[in-house]
Structure formats: structure tokens, C-alpha cells
A and B are shown apart, each in its own frame.
Chain A
Amino acid sequence: MASTAQNFMKLFRGSSHGTEAATPPAAPLTRRSSGLGELSRLWDSETPLCVLDLGSTSPANIRFFTERGHKIYSEDLLVASTEPSLITKDEEGKIVLDSRQFLADNLLYPAAHFDVVLCWNLPDYLDESLVRPVMGRLWSVLKPGGMLLAFFHTKDAGPDSPCFRFHIIGKDMLETQRIVLRREARRGPTGAIHTAINEGFRLQRVFNNRHIETLFRDFASIKFFLARDNIREVLVVR
């Protein structure tokens, strides 16, 4: 299974570099999110929830959860994955990212700590060498019964599908904003400027349903929501 998935994951690697360079940042758009709507019944909980947001730091999301008395943790894993010191070579001499080092620097939380993890489109844009280790760590930091929301592109999405940040603006409404990294914003946790990043993050692969099920095979249940914009929303329960 691993080799099939890995081959599939290579689908978009190495194509059409730099095509986004001249594209101006798009205005924010809104989209309805069935997955978020499904999660929304949790937000009214009187018990404070622990929510982990793995997208770009979002003032809207922080406001959304703190206004409801919940604790929100913010950690931008895509930016963290651009840390140059993570670059290493595997046994075959291929350049990969050091997943052990990545997990030693990121996602450092106690086991079973979070009620909800907002993964957004992280798996589609994260380097291949980090996807499975990160999902394994997310399983361990979720509480039993905790939920994780992730978005996956469908096969109709092209390799230049832009990476978005997601701001929660209602119970099932998101504002999406294309990520265009300014030079100053290309700083990882160490503060280093990552000149290797062009303008934004590139789609690394497209998962089909079976690959998604395999990715979340340790979770108790998985639910798919289809959307019109070449995105499948996936809600998994630990």
C-alpha cells in the first residue's frame, strides 16, 4: 500500500515551477463547509474545548474560539516544514525532509489533549515525507472521540491549485484567502527567511478516497463531504 500511495503522491511533483509568480493575491472568497457545520454542534459546549488550528495564523479563528470560551492552539505546519535544517537524504540518496526532527520541533503536545484538530488542506501541500508521521502524531494528540477536519483536492484539481488559508466566519462558513508569502512572511520558527519558497505552497499530490481511508486507518470513523469546488471535506473521529 505504501508504494502505491507513494507513487500516487508523486503525481504533481516537479511540474510547472514558478507559474504563480506574477499572479496577484486574490480577494477573500467564502465557501460553505459541511464538515465545519458538522463540527459546529461542539462549539456550544459549556466545557471549554481544546482546538488545534494547523493553518496560517488566523485572527478570525482565534476570535471565533476564544469568544466561545475555548482554548485555541495555532501552529502553521506548512511554514514550519520550510525550515532548511530539515532537509536530509534518505537511504537512496533522495532529498527528503527529516520527519523525526520535524516532530521533535513541532506538534509537541500531551497525548489525548485536543477535542478538535483543524487540518484544513495541510495533507495536500505538506511534503510527502511528513504526511504520515504528522497524521500519526495528530492521532495521538487527539482525545478518543476527538475530531479532525481535513480538505482534499479531487482529481480535477490541477497542480497549480493555490493553497488557501481558512478563516471561520460562521457555523458552516469559511472565508478563504490565497496564501501569498511575502518575503517577510517566509520565516519559519527560527526566523530564517526561506528564499526557496516562491509565492505560495504547491499542491504535492491528490489523494483518492482509498488513500484517504488508508491515511486515517487508525481512526475510528471517517466521513466524506463532497463540495463543488474540487474539494472533498473529510471528518474523522479518533
Chain B
Amino acid sequence: MSAPLSGDLAQIGKSVVIKGELSGSEDLYVDGQVEGSIALKNNSLTVGPNGQVKASVESKVIVVQGKLEGNVLATDRVELRKSAVVTGDITTQRISIEEGAYLKGKVDIQGKADKAAGK
């Protein structure tokens, strides 16, 4: 599967290894290795099929096709595709999980009211 193309999309290729804090205001596609944290408050993060992310992740939309280890906070939605391997707790407003995806962790669906109340 090739990476989606977009003018506002940053890409981390499959040979790239990054350790540290990633933040930004554009969509991000990770097909390489990232260790640390990723914060894209109003954008989307896609972990590609070759992606290996070991980080706490905060984003508006999070799509996982590869491996993600760390807690996930999505202000809008999380999509786990059938090849996803996720270890960590997921907090989101909406979630979709394809058959075959592997999840080890909690799923906590928070409505806007919950968020406002800080639950």
C-alpha cells in the first residue's frame, strides 16, 4: 500500500528512525520508526503498514495499519485497520476496528460532555 498523497501531509519513510517529540500542524504519515511522543492536535496521524511507533500519541484522527505501542488520545476518531497491532489504552470519541486487528489495552469512548467535564 502506498502512502496517501496530500499537499499538507508530512511523511516519515520506512527507513527513517526518529527518537524524540514530534509535534506539528499538518497531517503525518509514519511508515518508519518513531519513539517518544507525537502530538498533532488538529490533524491526523496515520501509522502505515511498515510503521512502528512506540510513543504516546495525541491527534484529531489516528489511523493504524502497522504497530503502535503507547497510549492513544484522539479528539475525533481512531481507526484500526486489519493489520494493526496496538498495545496501549485508547481514548477517543469514535472508533472503528477491522476484523483481524490486534488490540491489547483499554477502549474508553469519551463524548464531548465527558471531555468538558474532564472525566
Contact = CB atoms under 8 A, between A and B. Distances in A.
B99 A59 contact: yes
Interface string B82-119: 01010100000001111111111111110000000000
Interface string A192-207: 0000000000000000
Contacts of B100: 182, 184-185
A220 B62 CA distance: 43
9 contacts: A57-B97, A57-B103, A73-B106, A74-B103, A74-B106, A76-B102, A80-B104, A184-B100, A189-B87
A148 interface: no
Contacts, number: 49
A62 B97 contact: yes
Nearest to B101: A57
A70 to B, nearest CB: 9
B60 interface: no
A212 B52 CA distance: 41
CB-based closest 3 A-B pairs: A59-B97, A66-B109, A57-B103
B73 to A, nearest CB: 15
A74 B85 CA distance: 12
Interface residues of B, number: 20
B107 A189 contact: no
B109 A191 contact: no
Given A71-B107, A184-B83, A187-B85, A79 B95 contact: no
A191 B103 contact: no
Contacts of A97: none
Q: Is the interface of A mostly helix, strand, loop or mixed?
A: mixed
Contacts of B102: 57, 76, 79, 185, 187
A75 interface: yes
Nearest to A50: B106
B85 to A, nearest CB: 6
Nearest to B109: A66
A142 interface: no
